[in-house]
Chains A and B, each alone.
Chain A
């Protein structure tokens, strides 16, 4: 009995700590308990990395103009130990400047901007102070010049203003079977520049056509992508204002819910002196902590000591990690209360995670069924070769990999893009599943094998449906202390000695012998 009291105290303690922390965060720090209570906001984080070579370091990261305005609910902050930091607030070309003397090794600097989830008009019109800008001549010569001239002439014939000219130029560049001139120019630009050659070519052509144009960099507002490279966009002057467009879809203006223009005005995005191999990567996440609370929150030990103390790029990893305990909880429930037989205890959780990553239940299930079924078939072919166990599983991994590639290609050609997002699909687990299933098939008959695979699938689907709930994901991410309450629940379930649902059916014919 003593162990029972200990258990109850432990459960109570866990619930109190977890629930108390969550309540404190909600009541005192104002983090909403229910998702969608407060408008969400985007957090865009720039992470600058470079290798310092021991000399004084100066890093200059161009900033979005909106970050300096301090209006429209936009917040920004920088993090960097060992550096002196200031923002150069030049209204046209703001920049964050870090400097430090003599540092070595890998360095990482962060700058974050937060704004409401409906987006900010970072691509809007900006007037030029002073005189109207002049187009700059790209300085082409010889055959290239002639080719460019003829392209520009053709584009001009079909356009009346800078917008249509821009559309015409980029359409011609993007055309699959372009004219000879364009392919000549493309070839030249691809040799000279290191990436984004087509956009650079477009900018130069616009300038030659008399439309002032320059480079801009934008970040896609997309949580799933992880760390992304900035995208090269085009900023052009329509006679009155500077505007930004995406060269991939030149005909439409930028959707502020999809793109955030980080750099415009023609300055380089990043300049580093005193270091090499510098690069900047952007991470975007949707956040729910209200902005006006941000300064209090940053000082709260509760926040700093949790994953929110991490930079966004590091934090992204936890998006799925915090869901694993929930999947495990579902497995415990379904095994110990319901009594569903599965292949391997936590295989369904991994399967559910993979489906979560694919973001599509149907595609995930089809993928699983197709791979396991055809894998099984190959496995039976392999069994005739009398291979040893580990090589046999390894052979299965190879086959599963090939099958997945094939499936991706096929689904791509059928127009289903989900086939491409299967990087996380646990191939080794799948291979083991196939191996174990084929064993059960031989030892206990196909009925059992199918039953267990089906059980695994049911558990995986239920785990997926639970983990996919917005509210649950929200709690797991913003109130990780609630996992302690979950732990208390698992401990309680661990002491459940009653019947499983499946046993009520298993013993349905139980007759007491007279």
Chain B
């Protein structure tokens, strides 16, 4: 059975009869073309040369039938995801050369999957080829920067979507938002970057007792469906997924972003100390690098910004070693405080673990 077609961008003021005729003709032409091509995914875009790229509009119709409420909702939701030019390139990313090469190779293989798996028939031996990258590692290690760099190297705009935006307090809206994000990326030919995706890629819960658990399961199932239909590039970012859903094992390629070692940290210091920043002659980079052991790239950046602000506020013409050391000490103290002061809602997995442990310890009462 062929997938449903959608027609996007017919202006609202076109009479429905004319729009229906246009859709019907386009559908026939598309079906004829599909029969004569060996690729498994054909996407056509129609418009005059030089005109702006069409955005998803409310006039989408599937296979000539009237648009359902759900489809209309998806298209409406998709409008909030607007592609933007990537802000960083690979030259700004400090990771080992073999890792950046592996990243690019993976991305290019995803772009060529219709050829490899469709034309060359490898879908017979791997029905669910990888369609996405998952950049995982501690916060501040360059995952977001890498997503921008990948988009830049592919000459694609990027759509940034966070898990918090996709999750909804209304049951059933989460999967629609997921679908809308993929729809927007497809329509705008953009790389889709889903940040903080830990919860989305985790294993679906088998013992569902609450509506919220069912909602998260629905979102995870929707992600699998979207990945199977999506012909673009999607990049996830996760901090710590301990239990991936099996459905993602073949569909998602994982790349680990570790905290930088001494050499990488020194390279980050050198890259971030921009030439315009006036430095005291006594600034010892090796010492600063040693003092920031365990820091992520983002934390090194924060130390530099903090030190520069300190010097500027004190009216000093240059940033000195003492400014950097004070900034580093402050960041270390703040880190220790944050370890306990910041709260976040538990993931369904954490909830399962904690509640069952507390019940076995006899501490947890049944909720009333």
The reply to whether chain A is a binding partner of chain B is no
